[in-house]
Structure 1
Amino acid sequence: MPKIVDHDQRRLELVDATWRIIARLGIESATMREIALEAGFANGALKPYFPTKDDLLTFAFGHVFNRTNERIAEVTAGQVGLAALRAFCVEVLPLDEERINEARIVIPFWQKAINDPDKARIHRDSMEQWLAAMRRYLAEARYAGAVTTAVNDAALAGQLLNLLLGAQIAAALAPEGQVELGLNEQLEGFLTLLGC
């Protein structure tokens, strides 16, 4: 009787192996051979799932985005305004090794998106989704009187998104083992300024 293979699980195992290789050795060392070895599969076993490294990186980016969104949905459930905005941002910020490793996947994806319209569209669509959520939370906070700054919500959401994306770069480039970069304090500082 042939072995039943869970293809979705196999893809996730390969993505996790990719993260470990990138975290340890960098994107250039994440060859299909190294990824297969890390995942415990034969080199040819990757081809049916990801014909190229580029396909794997695109899938990994989508997986990072979806996983982040799942965490966001959990922590913002039942919250509105500044509480929801704060919870949203904390889930995006690279505050632990898992999220720093996620940043190490996202950054090479951005590099490829510069010259690849399909990848650029994936990034734009993802960020527009985040901006829409942030604008909604800001509007709720403004309605409740917690946001009083004259700066409009679209500009605030853009500033906050840039803070979050910049934090991913800072964390990915920080010395190995350094996870405390003052990111929570920077977020709290930004949120405090909203009431000025």
Structure 2
Amino acid sequence: MYEVAQVCYNEYMPKIVDHEKQKEKIAEVVWKVIQREGLDHCTVRKIAEEAGLSAGAMRHYFPNQSQLFIYSMQLVTNRVKARIERMTWTGTPADDVKQLLLQFLPVDEERKLEMEAWLSFTAKSLSDPELRPLRKEMNEGIYSACQKAVEALAQSAGNPDIDVPMETERLYALIDGLALHSVLEPGQVSQEVIDSVLTSHLKSLAM
């Protein structure tokens, strides 16, 4: 009797929906459509269809395309921050710094998907002022990580004469360049190339 009652309960009671998880799922659909077809194809209707939602349900989460893009862009930043928070700092300074900076680079499928979406949103932010604060937040985060990397390597090498601002700019430019070239020319700038170039540059800073 209990089993029958439980089946009836499961069938007829409304299911509890984790709205934040649902929004993340929708944002991930946006990333995948960007990767496959480009940002111009990310209409609210198309994303709703890909996510298996009705137009009405989609509007419940994101009333318009702008809100959809803002959330999808913010999720990239949140995922990067979450990976950094989960890191364990147990290696040498050079190893720890390298692992920190790799969180911003497309060295696996998850980060590749994020980076392709991020670059599309960055381009969109040139004409959409609502996306600019998110672009600024991420760029400042990358710059800060580069600065901390340079300072840590200079300290571990016992090199007080290193020009921290200049080396920070060099490392920041390197991270940006590797990310962009990896997305545009994945056959030329592979995950192995990213790792090798970054390792070589950090080694030069630690000398």
Residues 127-155 of structure 1: per-residue CA shift (max 9 Å, x gap): 22332233223222212216x49552222
The SS at the match of 2:167 is helix
Separation in 2, partners of 1:80, 1:195: 11
The residue type equivalent to 1:156 in the other structure is: E
Query: Contact conserved, 2:104 with 2:142, CA < 8 A, in 1?
Result: no
**Residue of structure 2 equivalent to 1:54:** 66
Separation in 2, partners of 1:80, 1:125: 28
After TM superposition, list the pairs within 5 Å mapping 1:131-146 onto structure 2.
131-145=143-157
- Alignment of 1:158 onto 2:189: no
Query: Contact conserved, 2:105 with 2:115, CA < 8 A, in 1?
Result: no
Q: What 5-or-longer segments of structure 1 have no aligned partner?
A: none
C-alpha RMSD over aligned residues: 2.5
Query: Contact conserved, 1:81 with 1:139, CA < 8 A, in 2?
Result: no
**Residue of structure 1 equivalent to 2:107:** 95
The structure 1 residue matched to 2:134, chosen from 122, 128, 145, is: 122
User: Residues 80 and 72 of structure 1: is their aligned pair in 2 closer, same or farther, counting only changes over 3 Å?
Assistant: farther
Q: State the Cα distance separating 1:61 from its structure 2 match.
A: 1.5
Percent of aligned pairs sharing the same letter: 26
Separation in 1, partners of 2:61, 2:157: 50
TM-score for the superposition, normalised by structure 1: 0.84
Matched positions, count: 194
Q: State the Cα distance separating 1:37 from its structure 2 match.
A: 1.3
The SS at the match of 1:100 is helix
The structure 2 residue matched to 1:38, chosen from 50, 67, 77, is: 50
**Residue of structure 2 equivalent to 1:186:** 197
The structure 2 residue matched to 1:174, chosen from 175, 178, 185, is: 185
The SS at the match of 1:95 is coil
User: Residues 72 and 79 of structure 1: is their aligned pair in 2 closer, same or farther, counting only changes over 3 Å?
Assistant: farther
Q: State the Cα distance separating 1:80 from its structure 2 match.
A: 6.8
TM-score for the superposition, normalised by structure 2: 0.81
Separation in 2, partners of 1:185, 1:42: 46
Moved more, 100-109 or 164-173: 164-173
The SS at the match of 2:61 is coil
After TM superposition, list the pairs within 5 Å mapping 1:17-32 onto structure 2.
17-32=29-44
Residues 93-146 of structure 1: per-residue CA shift (max 9 Å, x gap): 111222111111111211122244442222222322332233223222212216
Residues 2-34 of structure 1: per-residue CA shift (max 9 Å, x gap): 432211011011011111211111111222122
Query: Contact conserved, 2:30 with 2:47, CA < 8 A, in 1?
Result: yes
The SS at the match of 1:92 is coil
